[in-house]
């Protein structure tokens, strides 16, 4: 495994190069990136992961309508896409059901990323989604999205964001 650090105007990436590795970690929060977004929601569109919560707080989460569990909703905004995966409804799911739904939805996501010719997509790390730990979610995503040309940028949220109203101007 080789570790590269590439600096661009937009951000600093820590790139882990492996054979079919297309996952890249970055320090930003998801809403700081001008990219396509991947996030997890409930069937009624309410946020279920850190990415959808951040987008919702910054009024960038699109109203999705009613979804079914495992559905991948694609919304185009300007020239960018948002991919929302519905992971839960009003009833709690077993771990096995969450795994099955994630596997099916990431297989659908793979086809959609290829269909829309998505070069990169950003998502945020969450501690857990529907009581399912991030490292297990990450493994499912990596296994199912292997071999596609899309770079998945995983936003670690290490950069602190200060709202404009809380910033002090110095002259």
What pLDDT is stored for residue 95 in this prediction?
84
What pLDDT is stored for residue 63 in this prediction?
82
Beta-bridge partners for 5: 14
pLDDT-flagged residues of the chain (< 70): 1-20, 161, 167-171
- For residue 64, is it within any domain? yes
- For residue 106, is it within any domain? yes
What pLDDT is stored for residue 168 in this prediction?
67
**Cα 74 to Cα 85: distance, rounded to the nearest angstrom:** 9
Rounded to a whole number of angstroms, the CA Rg of the chain reads: 16
- For residue 168, is it within any domain? no
What pLDDT is stored for residue 171 in this prediction?
53
CA dihedral 144, 135, 38, 45 (to 10 degrees): 110
- For residue 84, is it within any domain? yes
What pLDDT is stored for residue 92 in this prediction?
82
Domain count, the chain: 1
User: CATH number of the domain that 156 lies in?
Assistant: 3.40.220.10
Q: What's this model's pTM, rounded to 2 decimal places?
A: 0.80
3-class state of residue 119 by DSSP = coil
Structure tokens at 115: 């269909």
What pLDDT is stored for residue 39 in this prediction?
95
**Cα 51 to Cα 148: distance, rounded to the nearest angstrom:** 22
What pLDDT is stored for residue 1 in this prediction?
32
Supply the range of the domain harboring residue 83.
2-160
- For residue 155, is it within any domain? yes
- For residue 170, is it within any domain? no
Return the axis-axis angle of helices 95-115 and 134-144, rounded to nearest 10°: 40
- For residue 73, is it within any domain? yes
What pLDDT is stored for residue 167 in this prediction?
67
What pLDDT is stored for residue 11 in this prediction?
39
């Amino acid at each position: 495994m080789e570790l590269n650090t590439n600096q661009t105007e937009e951000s600093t990436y820590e790139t882990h190069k492996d054979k079919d590795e297309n996952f890249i970690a970055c320090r930003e929060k998801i809403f700081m990136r001008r990219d396509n977004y991947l996030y997890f929601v409930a069937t009624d569109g309410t946020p279920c992961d850190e990415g959808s919560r951040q987008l919702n707080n910054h009024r960038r989460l699109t109203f999705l309508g009613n979804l079914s569990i495992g559905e991948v909703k694609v919304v185009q905004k300007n020239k960018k896409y948002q991919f929302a995966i519905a992971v839960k409804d009003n009833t709690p799911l077993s771990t096995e059901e969450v795994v099955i739904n994630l596997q099916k939805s990431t297989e659908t996501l793979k086809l959609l990323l290829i269909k829309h010719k998505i070069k990169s997509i950003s998502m945020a790390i969450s501690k857990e989604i529907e009581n399912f730990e991030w490292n297990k979610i990450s493994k499912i995503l990596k296994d199912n999205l292997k071999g596609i040309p899309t770079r998945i940028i995983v936003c670690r949220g290490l950069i602190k964001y200060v709202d404009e109203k809380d910033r002090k101007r110095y002259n």
